[in-house]
Amino acid sequence: MSKPIEFKAGTLPAMSAVIRELDNVRLSDSMHTMLGGLGEFFAGEATVIDLTQLVKVPDRADWVGLLSLLRRYGLQPIAVRQTPEHLIDSARKAGLAVLSSDTGRLTGERAVTAPTAAPVPAPAATAVAAKSEPAQASLDMTPPMTNASTMIIERPLRSGQQIYAKGGDVVILGGVSNGAEVIADGSIHCYGPLRGRALAGAQGDLKARILTTSFAPELVSIAGVYRTFERGIAANLAGKPAHAVLRASTAGQQTLNIETLQLD
């Protein structure tokens, strides 16, 4: 007869939210800028709050506020990692599991940073791996995407519709209407008029691009560097094949360039 409950050790993939300032107002502003005020940006991923890079340790933390902030964007916080001693109790009270970076079980978080890089190893092996590369993986904003799959959208993306190609590129075969939004961790390839909002490199990939056969968007963004077109799009680009790409300027800053594409 089967037992009504069983306990098994396991690893689960989770998102890691690396928080450098434990200040909900600043975090809220920053997330708003980064994610463009999109509610439910994430899709309920389990999330570990990572405090290993905390710049200044506050006296107290508003965990409840932080949790609701993360949830607002569709994240499901489950644990906190490297919690300062005096915040541990309050974190537990807020319902978070408290993990420490060198003794804790970090298997979940390991699986996050490189979701497709390797088959999930046995817990013991993972613990070793975690030790040898402490927190380094989560520093990297652009995890290597090995077999990241490309999302293909065969219908026009209509006003009010939104798609998110997680972990890879998106190819849209029918165009993107005004008022529609396409987001990808990788690049956006649009065969047809691109009239809505396009956000590539949503996780910070500076090499992502936005390519279209007919350039007419409301907004383009690559790794958070965005441009709107309130005064219209330059005549040499409007409705023409073009791509948006980040290029490092002499000052070392990334600027968003929009360049025409020669298709024939």
Q: Closer to other proteins at the Cβ: 85 or 154? A: 154
How many residues bind other proteins (CB under 8 A)? The answer is: 15
DSSP letter (8 states) at residue 35:
H
User: 136: helix, coil or strand?
Assistant: helix
- As measured in angstroms, the least distance from the Cβ of 260 to other proteins is 21
Among residues 13, 193, 36, 249, the alpha carbon closest in space to that of 112 is found at 13
Cα separation values, 214 from 2, 242, 262, Å: 60, 7, 12
Q: Is 260 in the site for other proteins (CB under 8 A)?
A: no
For residue 148, give both structure tokens. 């990241």
The C-alpha atoms of residue 246 and residue 77 are separated, in whole angstroms, by: 32
Q: Which of 68, 178, 236, 249 binds other proteins (CB under 8 A)?
A: 178
Q: Which of 179, 204, 224, 241 binds other proteins (CB under 8 A)?
A: 179
Which of these ranges, 109-117, 154-162, 217-225, 252-260, lies near other proteins under the rule CB under 8 A? Answer: 154-162
Q: Which of 57, 89, 160, 249 binds other proteins (CB under 8 A)?
A: 160
The C-alpha atoms of residue 14 and residue 7 are separated, in whole angstroms, by: 20
The C-alpha atoms of residue 228 and residue 250 are separated, in whole angstroms, by: 23
Q: Is 192 in the site for other proteins (CB under 8 A)?
A: yes
Which of these ranges, 9-17, 60-68, 169-177, 225-233, lies near other proteins under the rule CB under 8 A? Answer: 169-177
Q: Which of 33, 159, 236, 249 binds other proteins (CB under 8 A)?
A: 159
Contact indicator for 136, 152 with CB cutoff of 8 Å: no
Query: What is the binding site for other proteins (CB under 8 A)?
Result: 155-161, 174-175, 177-180, 192, 195
